[in-house]
Structure 1
């Protein structure tokens, strides 16, 4: 018993010494004024005023801030998570900002890893949840920094650490420059973000023209957040967007693609498309948006797909990006499929030729990840099989790994009028029926609906040479 007591006493002393050492090391590895002004220009809002419900917090995010604070560092839940908490919504992602460097964060948490090149971050893992931790960012216009900004004003490199006040200035909108401390339950507001949220306004920090030139993607983010959160874009924030829309041409395609994907999978895709069009963010600037808008034949199909996607996101059901792209590009595939059949190709080979053609053309414009394009092609490739309702083929299709996605795709085709509604209704009954009922459904099909492809001729094997 005495031995255990001594171990507890000395272990506490060791931990305190480690925390103090970490704190001193953290201060030594940063500029002298890193925390000098932190919080001085911020309004401190108490829990009884902001009303954040702690039940909406992520345990992993709270443990991350606690771990860093115990090690002697400052740590806050930041950005969109705080904004959503103030709007009484449960955030999907929680980010943490700290004055600790990535290496120091990595040493505090055993299950963590440093990621990123443009700006180093740390992913801290708690079970199946990952918290992204960033070090406070400073100004990219330091005296020792060269070639940080392009001629257009776009920031090229910003791997600069700073203090909390500088970090708040670097954030895009006032609603995102908020810092929540789970330990004190206070919100630090540097740019009147809380009053703006309460007034339903989305406002840019600093001069909007300069901020859009620094990062043109902020224009897309303004549209997405406005549609998603129901916030009205502030007049000064909104007015420069049409004039600066061409700046998006300088953004790397992969980054543009990721931002557009967030927009279409936000749960408010239809409203976002309307707003993008209103602000002149189309006509060649955003290839993915061009695909959505320029669908004279499949406009109804694409609108149904967007509506379906929004409904699934808002119902917190999973949404497959591969399925989404399959819907956007389907009518391009249809046109090519019909062309190849007119050239004398059989239906199935013609479909695969059309799929390859459309995928290759769009790969250059949209930079679709391979994992999405594979799903997309599988969904397309299964569509003809829904019309082959004879023998064992329907049973085999039910067992296919992509059956459910392909079936949902078929229902969209039925609803848009591309194929008879009877086909979708039949497959719904067939999937929900028992074995005997399925046989009855197959027997009762009208003769014209039992589509069967012609059997392939077996090739004769050449006799082995003597």
Structure 2
């Protein structure tokens, strides 16, 4: 086996950047991501009467728009086949159907949507009758899960959202002037969305995009803005704070002034969320190709010390400022991971949790680059440390010397290397235990002035055990029957399901390419 055979230093064979279309131009932002925004020439179409501005940011009234989806470069071929089948199934029965939410935003931005959400004039019980495999889930906000071609398509009903409309409103709204009944029904539903860029509705049959909340304008400006006043929106649902971070990180957008203010000042609201919900939101940030940007934003807005105080302590200890544009090893590891993932190519949560634990162990005790390389190779091959050391010793490129977690290289003997690799594996396991210990987590930032108190542990036992399995082969010896993966190709379906082989392969590739960057000879 040779290093070149493993292809850890190879660039991904696919591009994560979306293609350019004639109506888009490329714009670079100071954040870690670049986005494509709409050209002014495509923002055209019939205008309805002005809608009342309920978001509390300025006095400019939003102009309602109907836009031709083809003018925005959207084709029905961009919609997944299972989703098209569900849309057609409801349409042929006489119901109106629309795509709604983030999938419309992503289609406009020429990005692959993570999933597609449908809303229809049909009652949920009528949706159930329309498909052979369909069930209603949820009590407070019931929706239908339609099973189609080995995937699930979510379908909601206008009638369900109408029953929830207006409950507990503390802000003034009024019926849109000059709108017909259908406009009002659509507008009412969009008003319940979290952010304006998610408040777009797409009729794929009429090829019309309805913009009642100013979402197109905010896409042009690359802004994340709440539909209703941000303070009210976040107090209604604290998870919207984390969704705001996730969306901004994934798209490279910034927050509107009011939204940014309340993301920071109401950050403590996330502590009211269930731990399972926190893990889900964190997984959306870390496992779908925008982990580095998410970590930067969590740190910038004071959320990292609540969610991941151990990693926040690392930023404090290394003098990493809130708006710092520099990088460090933690961010570099996740930057490498991001290059391999995408919204439609996620990883299982055990991978990013394992990277957090690995980095913490390394920051506690810096190691020789050769030890780190041999450790990652031993994880990859299922615990065959001698083979991993032989491969590592043949590395003929220099390591990244800017990381404090890597000590100066030494000419270590094989026996010393074996002991160091096993010690690093034991340290990673110990760190995992600390990350799931409320007392240790609460003390993570105690040595730093004005450190917030957080004993939040949202990593469940099952996930902890899954991460342990990734690394235990290094301390327990080579696993019988385990066959290391060759080449650079990743089976994303298995990676998303938590396949041990795919997780180890991807972890090793991320670590190896971080320590020995592709651009170094």
TM-score strictly above 0.5? yes
- 1:50 aligned onto 2:141: no
- 1:326 aligned onto 2:411: no
Paired residue secondary structure (2:339) = helix
Aligned with 2:250 (options 205, 222, 228): 228
The residue number in structure 1 matching 2:59 is none
The residue number in structure 1 matching 2:11 is none
In the TM superposition, what is the alpha-carbon distance from 1:97 to its structure 2 partner?
Answer: 0.8
Aligned with 1:406 (options 487, 499, 504): 504
The residue number in structure 2 matching 1:428 is none
Aligned with 1:272 (options 279, 294, 303): 294
- 1:379 aligned onto 2:470: yes
Q: C-alpha root-mean-square deviation of aligned residues, in Å?
A: 3.8
Write out aligned runs for 1:231-380 (5 A): 231-283=253-305, 285-286=306-307, 289-295=308-314, 302-314=330-342, 317-330=345-358, 354=430, 357-358=433-434, 361=437, 365-369=456-460, 372-380=463-471
Paired residue secondary structure (1:180) = strand
298-307 or 69-78, which deviates more: 298-307
Paired residue secondary structure (2:234) = helix
* Structure index of larger Rg: 1
- 1:138 aligned onto 2:166: no
**1:342-389: CA deviation from partner (whole Å, max 9, x where unpaired):** xxxx9899789848844752698443355533321111201235xx6x
The residue number in structure 2 matching 1:202 is 224
Contact residue 225 and residue 231 of structure 1 kept, 8 A: yes
Hey, what's the Cα distance between the residues in 1 that align with 2:432 and 2:225? 44
Provide structure 1 residue ranges, at least 5 long, that are not aligned to the other structure: 1-38, 151-161, 338-345, 422-466
In the TM superposition, what is the alpha-carbon distance from 1:175 to its structure 2 partner?
Answer: 0.9
Hey, what's the Cα distance between the residues in 1 that align with 2:137 and 2:234? 26
Tell me the TM-score normalized by structure 1: 0.64
Provide structure 2 residue ranges, at least 5 long, that are not aligned to the other structure: 1-47, 52-63, 171-183, 319-326, 366-421, 442-454, 486-498, 517-521
Contact residue 56 and residue 85 of structure 1 kept, 8 A: yes
In the TM superposition, what is the alpha-carbon distance from 1:69 to its structure 2 partner?
Answer: 2.6
Hey, what's the Cα distance between the residues in 1 that align with 2:275 and 2:197? 27
Hey, what's the Cα distance between the residues in 2 that align with 1:200 and 1:300? 27
Hey, what's the Cα distance between the residues in 2 that align with 1:360 and 1:396? 31
**1:296-331: CA deviation from partner (whole Å, max 9, x where unpaired):** 899965334312321111496552311211221236
The residue number in structure 1 matching 2:20 is none
Hey, what's the Cα distance between the residues in 2 that align with 1:213 and 1:125? 34
**1:138-159: CA deviation from partner (whole Å, max 9, x where unpaired):** 36476xx7xx799xxxxxxxxx
**1:65-116: CA deviation from partner (whole Å, max 9, x where unpaired):** 2222332322101111110111112212111011222212111111211112
**1:30-70: CA deviation from partner (whole Å, max 9, x where unpaired):** xxxxxxxxx99753222343331222112222222222233
In the TM superposition, what is the alpha-carbon distance from 1:276 to its structure 2 partner?
Answer: 1.6
Q: CA 1:409/1:300 → structure 2, altered by over 3 Å: closer, same or farther?
A: farther
Paired residue secondary structure (2:218) = helix
Which one has the bigger helix percentage?
Answer: 1
Write out aligned runs for 1:385-400 (5 A): 393=478, 397-398=482-483
Greater relative contact order (CA < 8 Å, ≥ 6 in sequence): 2
Contact residue 99 and residue 164 of structure 1 kept, 8 A: no
Contact residue 304 and residue 311 of structure 2 kept, 8 A: no
Q: CA 1:44/1:352 → structure 2, altered by over 3 Å: closer, same or farther?
A: closer
In the TM superposition, what is the alpha-carbon distance from 1:414 to its structure 2 partner?
Answer: 6.1
Hey, what's the Cα distance between the residues in 2 that align with 1:46 and 1:141? 28
Contact residue 248 and residue 254 of structure 2 kept, 8 A: yes
Hey, what's the Cα distance between the residues in 2 that align with 1:183 and 1:229? 27
Hey, what's the Cα distance between the residues in 2 that align with 1:352 and 1:294? 17
Contact residue 350 and residue 467 of structure 2 kept, 8 A: yes
Q: CA 1:183/1:291 → structure 2, altered by over 3 Å: closer, same or farther?
A: same
